Structure 1
Amino acid sequence: MESDLSSFDIDAPRWDQATFIGRLKHFFNITDPRTIFVSEQMLDWAKIMVENSRRGTVPPGTDREQLLYAKKLYDSAFHPDTGEKMNVIGRMSFQLPGGMALTGCLLHFHRTLPAVVFWQWVNQSFNALVNYTNRNAASPLSGRQMAVAYVTATGAALGTALGLTLGTKGAPKLVARWIPFAAVAAANCVNIPMMRQQELLHGLVVTDAASRELGQSRRAAALGISQVVVSRITMAAPGMILLPILMQRLERLAFMKKIRVLHAPLQVLLAGAFLVVMVPTACALFPQRCEMPVSRLEEELQASLRAQYGDIAFVYFNKGL
């Protein structure tokens, strides 16, 4: 058994990451919310197993399924750049429980300005932590930069939500229910770039196909961050657009009028139903390891790469999540 697995490439994707379906299967696997309940000891075991497998020193008696499960836990809990354990709330596997609670509350408590302010603040605090946790860790962010990013993103969300709330008074009820999504989308366009501003300012590390570091590119950072913004908005869109329509129709039913106290819990559960599908789907829209033509890099970096490595066609980088 050991000899069979000593050459097992644990970092080789189980599914083809060049296809959407392959990436979807991968992210269904690593965003599994059950992994957040795994003990710290089990996560440490997973890291040891992955590191041993990379060295070709698989313990006797280990089977392939154990290695695959260890890799699932490792990918769900440890940062791909640093190998450090991520905080639980910031992991993508926490997006289902965290996102369903916040989405349900954002959609339900939208009638008063204090409620709008409170839930948008809570949501942006959550998003800031998720964005920081899933950044490309090669570009450290100072405490002051993190604070500015947090305040700016929260301000964008609150400004959008309050502006639309005040500006749509008298509009159909459904329009008011869509305001939280507009605020979330606007905030994502600010929160993610601000939390990852170091990458935009100084570039992120690009490599060749063999993961050899070649340099840093601001254009690669801009591409990666823009893809993450699109993914996050896509993740929230179906639930925050379709759920208000569904709830508006349900609330007209006689039995729903009798159980108003259950409307908020129901919205939370329905938001979770959307996110079960949308978290892995949104993550799978773009490859995590991006491929970028050298011709799209900064001209000085193109010249440097060709001078050092000859005719190189593509570079690769981790866009983060």
Structure 2
Amino acid sequence: MASAIPGPRNLPESAYDLDTYWGRVLHSAEVSDPRMLLVTKSQLEKSKDLVYKYKNNEIKSMTPELWHAKLVLDSTIHPDTGEPVLLPFRMSSYVLSNLVVTVGMLTPNLGTIGTLFWQIANQSLNVAINTANANKSHPLTTHQLLTSYGLAVSASCSVALGLNAIVPRLKAVSPNTRLILGRLVPFAAVVSAGVVNVFLMRGQEIRKGITVYDQDSAEPLGTSQRAATFAVGQTAISRVINATPIMVLPPLILVRLQKKFKFSPRSELFTNLSLILATSFIALPFALGIFPQKCSLDVKHLEDKFKDIKSSSGHAVKKVVFNRGM
């Protein structure tokens, strides 16, 4: 993100009002725009240079070129490290990276082997995205990473296989309801494992705290466990919200279409792919806009050590900000 570029002058957070839901939706649509994947190394360096000049008062006001430079950095650079996020795990690649595994998970009548394969593939992708985009105050060790990955895979596979075995035995519901419930099994598996994944992968942040900054001066003030709990909790909720439209709407629409039209295996795959792709591009910004990426908290909600804290310039700190992570 552009906030990783050093300088005494802060950039505007966005061209949109991030205090409003619609502003965050529009901002998220820009940051998750797949066209940002086409940014070259020279364009990235040019964007860094422009933002640096603004933050160090060499450029006096925001221009369309500077707004674009900020967008390039926000969609490419990790806010804590200042380094580019690996391309498949950036927000601008979110829809494309998830497309294959989502289509795989939502394929009807997968069977046990297919269910296991696609749940493992999905959790592998989730771990990679979590690791690449998480708050870097306390990076996980390899052992912690592998443990979290194993538990997340176990959770998703257990839920998916368990529900696949239970749903057909629900005799008290109609065949149509069983069909719909069966199509929603991947959603239940993804959501449950996603929440487990977030808390396992980022448990170190909750135990040790994350760095918080003065909202006015961007000066680091120390680490806070309460801020970390807030950040990780919001991220877990956002995972459920992000998954809901993509994992729920396409299978329900496909069930309705299958009742009206006779699909060949190829046309069913194409229809499923189209539904997931369209839903992902349309729904993702609305889901991402639920919570701001850069969180703000009043110091009264933090530990006692922050209650009367002052910045290096001597003013009393009222609010802190921190990177929520993804």
Give TM-score scaled by structure 1 length: 0.88
Query: 1:182 deviation in Å?
Result: 0.3
SS of residue matched to 2:140: coil
SS at match of 1:169: helix
Q: Which residue of 1 aligns with 2:184?
A: 178
Query: d(CA) in 1 for partners of 2:186 and 2:227?
Result: 31
Greater displacement, 135-144 / 178-187: 135-144
Q: Quick one: which amino acid aligns to residue 243 of structure 1? A: P
Match of 2:273 among 268, 271, 284: 268
Residue number among 235, 243, 246 corresponding to 1:236 in the alignment: 243
CA-CA distance at 1:36 after TM superposition: 1.3
The whole-number CA distance in structure 2 between the counterparts of 1:207 and 1:56 is 22
- Deviations 1:158-191, CA, capped at 9 Å, x for gaps: 1111111122224411111100000000011111
Q: How far apart in 2 are the matches of 1:41 and 1:303? A: 45
> Structure 2, unaligned stretches of length 5 or more?
1-7, 171-177
Bigger Cα displacement from structure 2, 35-44 vs 17-26: 35-44
**Alignment of structure 1 residues 260-299 onto 2, 5 Å:** 260-299=265-304
Q: Which residue of 2 aligns with 1:203?
A: 209
Identity percentage over the alignment? 31
Instruction: Give the superposition deviation at 1:157.
Output: 0.8
- 1:252 to 1:279, Cα distance in 2 relative to 1, 3 A: same
Q: Select which of 193, 208, 221 maps to 1:214.
A: 221
Backbone CA RMSD of aligned residues: 2.6
> 1-side partners of 2:311 and 2:126: how far apart?
42
Deviation at 1:102, TM superposition (A): 2.1
Paired AA for residue 146 in structure 1: L
Asked if structure 1 preserves the Cα contact closer than 8 Å seen for 2:32 and 2:92, the reply is yes
Residue in 1 that maps onto 2:4: none
The secondary structure found in structure 1 opposite 2:295 is strand
Is residue 153 of structure 1 aligned with residue 152 of structure 2? yes
Q: 1:207 to 1:251 in 2, by over 3 A?
A: same
- Structure 1 residue 11: Cα displacement: 4.3
TM-superposed CA distance for 1:295, in Å, is: 2.2
Tell me the distance in 2 between the aligned counterparts of 1:55 and 1:170: 66
Alignment of 1:61-210 (within 5 A): 64-171=63-170, 172-209=178-215, 210=217
- Structure 1 letter corresponding to 2:156: A
SS at match of 2:221: strand
Q: Shift of residue 264 of structure 1?
A: 1.9
Return the alpha-carbon distance in structure 2 between the equivalents of residues 67 and 303 of structure 1: 37
Name which of structure 1's ranges 226-235 and 96-105 shifts more when overlaid on structure 2. 96-105
How many aligned residue pairs are there? 310
TM-score of the superposition, structure 2-length normalised? 0.87
Residue 54 (structure 2) aligns with: 53
* d(CA) in 2 for partners of 1:315, 1:168: 47
2:83 aligned counterpart, secondary structure: coil
Quick one: which amino acid aligns to residue 176 of structure 1? G
Q: In structure 1, list runs of 5 or more residues that go unmatched.
A: 1-6
Q: Evaluate the alpha carbon distance shift between residue 63 and residue 53 of structure 1 in structure 2; reply closer, same or farther with a 3 A threshold.
A: closer
